[in-house]
Every structure is written in C-alpha cells, then in structure tokens.
A = this chain, B = another copy of it.
C-alpha cells in the first residue's frame, strides 16, 4: 500500500497529466473532507454504480466534467498551487455538475450549464474562501450551493431549460406525508444517506463510499456512520416524511457535519464527541428550516445545512478551549487559509 502510494506520488511529480488526475481524484475525496486520491477513486466508483443503477448514467459525466472544469478554471485563474494539488478547487464544481444534471432538464444546453456552473463555482470558491478567511474557516461546499441554487432558480425566468425537482413551488404547510418509522427501509436509507452527499440514491454506493472513507481515515468513516444514524433516528422521532428518510435525504448533511466536527476539525476527546453530536442534531433542525425557506421556490437545500451548522460550531470554538484545533491535521482543508501549514506537511 505504502509502495503504491510512493509510486503514484513519483508519477504525479513527474507528469503534469498524472498530477492533474491526482488533483481531480483528491477533489472527489475532498467533498468528504479527505485528501486522498485512492479515496477519490473509490468514491468515483460509487458514483458510477449509483448513476448507472438509477438509470441516470450522465450523473457520472456531470461529476467528471464538474471536477475537471472546476480544477482547470482554478489553474487558469492561477489559484494557490498547494490547494489546487489537494483537490480544493474540484469538490464544489463536482457537486454542481451532478446537481445541474439531476435537477435541470432540456436539450444539450444542460451541458453548457454544467461547464459554466463548474467554472462559476470555482470563482465563488475563491471569493468565499476569501470572505471566510476572516474567521479562519474555509467555504466548504457553500460555493456549490450558491451556484446551483442560482442556476436552478434562474430557469423560472430563462425558460429554455426546465426545473425537475421533487416538489413544485408551494407555501409551507403541515403536509399530509406519511410519517417515518423505523424498519429495514430506514436502515438502508441510512446507507443511502452517505451516497446522497453526492446526490446519488443508492445504499450500495453509500457502503462503497464508507469503504473509501475508511481507506483514508477510520475516524471519518465512523463519524459518517454516526451522522447518518443519529440524523435518521431524529427525523423518525420528530415525524419527518417516510419517503425522505428512506432515501437518506435527512442524513447526508448530518454525515458531512459529523465528518467535519467529529472527524477532521477538532482533536478527539469526549467533549469534542459530545460537541459533534450537538452539531449533528443542529444540522437536522437547520435542514428542516431551510426546506421550509425554499418551499416557495421548489428547490432542495443541497448541502447548505451542513455548511451553516459547521460554520456556527466552528466559529463558536474560539472560546472553546478544551477542544483545540487538531495539530496533526493533514493540511488539506485549511491549506488555502494557512499556506505555511500546507508547505510544511
């Protein structure tokens, strides 16, 4: 394993093509806050499985075009090289690519949206990393959220494409949806929730992704599992709609918050775990709020609940001395914010 890793590193250092492939694979993994090309490859396989299995193979194309265009745009804009090589300009455009293809329908123009959206996501990433740098936090997937929301909501005015989301615009109300309860479908939904991070509806993909996580960080894989289980149980307890729980839609944001707060951003400790659990619960409530806010526009929350929850719990930490920031952190995520850390590692 270490041997393969060393060989790959040598290849990436020598060939610009391999270096670019390496950056894109890391970009796939960075959606889950991991800086590891093998994890990225395994996740890409999971996306491919889910895309073909659900009869929507072009989602794989959206992912690949997204990460490639996003990374290329960052190169053209001469973004920070260390961040580029860590895949930090690939992960949000990748999600934009999948999101556009999943929620917009029309002719070939939709691919123009994918390319434009991926490039725009990189610009928004540069801007929001700049904004959040003020408080020592990265932008996470917020650039994906902003860009994709913009493209989706825009088609009500630029009607050449059509929106294809689960629910049409409506005022929020106590709907008549069947309440969720605990059964086998809910358990599968917990695994599907891991894959829903990539907008993929497949519990098998979810398991493959967990394996990919475990390759790089057992702790991240464990917290991803904790996140999806806690969120699903909470959603059942508070009587969320059954279909959404079974599709993992109440879980994917919690998975990301769990990885961020539990697996990456804070040093492991008992209070840190309790704090991460608190963040997971908050993510579920923020998701419920955002679903209400977006109901009149008929668009999904995407990963905004994860971003908002993680920002709150991260920005609150300055006064939170018992859990200092992880010193041995691999440097991937925070690299654009602290270039000196990135260069040392």
Contact = CB atoms under 8 A, between A and B. Distances in A.
Interface of A: 76-80, 116, 119-120, 123-128, 130-131, 134-135, 149-151, 153-163, 168-175, 179, 235, 237-241, 271, 278, 281-282, 284-289, 291-293, 295-298, 311-322, 336
A160 B127 contact: no
A43 to B, nearest CB: 26
Contacts of A134: 134-135
Nearest to A83: B319
B173 A316 contact: no
A119 B318 CA distance: 17
Given A130-B315, A173-B156, A316-B126, A293 B297 contact: yes
Contacts of A158: 235, 238-240, 284-285, 288
A148 to B, nearest CB: 10
Given A127-B315, A130-B135, A278-B119, A174 B154 contact: no
B288 A297 contact: no
Query: What is the oligomeric copy number?
Result: 3
B322 A288 contact: no
A78 B320 contact: yes
20 contacts: A76-B271, A77-B320, A116-B281, A126-B317, A127-B312, A130-B135, A130-B315, A134-B135, A150-B288, A150-B289, A153-B288, A153-B292, A154-B285, A158-B238, A158-B285, A159-B174, A159-B179, A160-B237, A160-B238, A169-B173
Contacts of A130: 135, 315-316, 318-319
Contact of A239 (B124, B159, B336): B159
A112 to B, nearest CB: 10
Contact of A123 (B271, B288, B316): B316
B313 A123 contact: yes
Given A289-B149, A319-B79, A320-B78, A295 B156 contact: yes
Contacts of A80: 319
Contacts of A179: 159
B296 A171 contact: yes
B282 A120 contact: yes
A311 B124 CA distance: 10
Contacts of A127: 311-316
Nearest to A288: B154
